[in-house]
Amino acid sequence: MNDTGNFVIVGSGSNMIWESFNFPADTLLPTQIMSRGGVINSKMSETNFTSGRFQLRMLQDGNLVLNSRDVLSNFAYKAYYSSNTIDVSNSTNAGDQLIFDVTGYMYILKRNGQRFVLTPRETLPSGDYYHRATLSFDGVFTQYYYPKNFTSNTSWSVSWLEPENICGDIIGLEGSGACGFNNVCSLDGARRPKCECPPGLSLLDPNDPYGDCKLNFTTTCDDDVSSYNGELDFVELNKTDWPRSDYVHLDSTNEQECKDSCLNDCLCAVAVHDGNDCWKKKLPLSNGWMNESLNTKAFLKFAKGDLPRHSPPRFPRKKNDQTTLITTGAALLGSSVFVNAILLVVICLGLFLNYHKMARTRNLGDNVAETNLVYFTYKELVQATNEFTDELGRGSFGIVYKGLIRTNSVAVKKLNTRLVEDGEKEFKTEVGDISRTHHKNLVQLLGYCDEGDQRLLVYEYMSNGTLASFLFENNKPSWNQRSHIALGIAKGLWYLHEECTTQIIHCDIKPQNVLLDDYYNPRISDFGLAKLLKMNQSRTNTGIRGTKGYVAPEWFRNTAVTTKVDVYSFGVLLLEIISCRKSLEESESGNECGPVLTDWAWDCYQERTLDVFVANDLEALADYKNLKTFIMVGLWCIQENPSLRPIMRTVVQMLEGVVEVSEPPCPFPLSTTSI
């Protein structure tokens, strides 16, 4: 590694075999040269170092350009910056090399020896400085400097950048623009782009604010627009436009005519009005930008019942019945003494009944009051689930149905009658404690219903179903996906065991209780439900909780049940994730067939035949070190002796490679009763 930052491999006779300067990523350093045909790619995002959407290229004709590209095909879109160092009539006047000299001076050297200056001389500081030029993930190419005699508060300073206004300069007929489709770009004080979904839209990938936005509502031409009966309206966005998404241009129109034309056009998603001109735009919207110099008004169409929002959906709380009664009573008082007397009786009766209802709610869930949970009536959830017709799954605690509240899919768990009869206090604890658990690997509780003997819980809906179907029913997931899922589940359990306000032991970890969100991140479900178990039964066979194949041995013995039962179940699940094989295979008659997965895992580990365990999965075998680590962690977790099992915090650290994993002993030296 030499002083310029160039990493060089030298062979015999000091012959240079390879150097990093010939294979730049997103940054150029002093003494580095880019010849015709050279290219650097931006990162995908601030933390994702794969090649992103933007390129700096030295074209064969001598022109230096910045362009966006299609990541999958590598197709380059129209340049949004060009040095214009080409000369068709005189090729010797065209650019030949991009040079970054040792002083930090960057220029294009033409074929005739002349220079096209990129770095203004007045911006280069005098003194001893480091220099670099980076194509950022947001598409801005920037040259920086940094003093070699730095202090703790020193940071990189900008010499120059291109383009000055990427939001306006990147406009083209292809691609999404500086931000993703349907997104809106604006400049911050440092002339860097900011991307923000307009009201009514949300990010397709919540972790990528520069990515595409999806509409929470849109009409299609399969719908009869007239049937909406005025339920469509617009949200107004000033000084905003998507200038490359037009499909109709109307002139001599006012704002209302512009909006009416869009309202009655099923293809129209946005109408933009500027003076007497109206442009109708359809999806997807590209090159969105907001600028104070624009005189436009953009009208984004949405359904009145689906309020525009930037944040994840929040369901409206029901109005306080007591406030409503008081307001109504006050408005009606004054007609006559007799009527007033009747009204006073009605109001008092209403207040009395409401007081008792509120008291009952408080008694049921004092812990609920401090949360953001939404209270639903039973009628609302009957309508939301279409009378409980779309069943997602069922278990000992009840049945889960798919529902739709506004335009948001939810999962509604209807607790069974036996639980309602036996567990008023337990239901209060569940709603109060579960609602205060917040972790990216747990399914979030959104609301609840407590009406008569009906008790229901409303959860986030996970679009990709259960881990069981992902592992065992579809095509085999990649090793990278499987290892990501395993680590996420471990982190979720660590949170439940150690980081919750109240410790939660799941007691039924299995692939059916792990759901996958839009991006296949694992989310543990049904946590907290085991607290409904009366723990004085937990030491007997009649009180065994869990599912066959995942139950820890201590359930069968007169020993205390601790978080280690979850560790055991996770170990079985981890081995399932590694092998894509069920812990117990059953024949059509319901009898077990084939080896028990935990026994087979130990045999394969002992015999050093891990390739057999993963069915010769080439991707997993290419990552052999981590594969072996994961299997060793699984074997530690299924130790028959609970004291030998690691806690979930240690499991996470071992899976991440932070803690070294020692050789596991035989997991089952004792004979164990099976169920």
Residues classed as catalytic: 508
Residues recorded for the chain: 675
Query: Which residue reads 């071992």 in tokens?
Result: 654
Structure tokens at 512: 């059916």
Helices assigned H by DSSP within 437-478:
467-472
First CA to last CA across the chain, in angstroms?
A: 62
Structure tokens at 638: 């299924």
- Report the distance separating Cα 203 and Cα 3, nearest Å: 43
- Report the distance separating Cα 418 and Cα 513, nearest Å: 21
All residues at 6 or more sequence positions from 635 whose CB lies less than 8 Å from its CB, including other chains:
571, 601, 602, 605, 664, 667
Cα dihedral 449, 455, 461, 467, rounded to 10, equals: 160
Structure tokens at 266: 């099923």
Contact criterion met (CB below 8 Å) for 271 and 234: yes
Q: How many CA atoms lie within 13 A of 28 on its CB side?
A: 27
Identify which of 555, 594, 574 has the alpha carbon closest to the alpha carbon of residue 636: 574
Identify which of 441, 413, 426, 446 has the alpha carbon closest to the alpha carbon of residue 500: 441
**CB neighbourhood size of 635 (10 A):** 23
3-class SS string, 311-339:
CCCCCCCCCCHHHHHHHHHHHHCCCCHHH
| Helical (H) or strand (E) element with 140 | none
Structure tokens at 91: 């090729």
- Report the distance separating Cα 171 and Cα 68, nearest Å: 10
Contact criterion met (CB below 8 Å) for 633 and 516: no
Identify which of 304, 292, 291, 224 has the alpha carbon closest to the alpha carbon of residue 264: 224
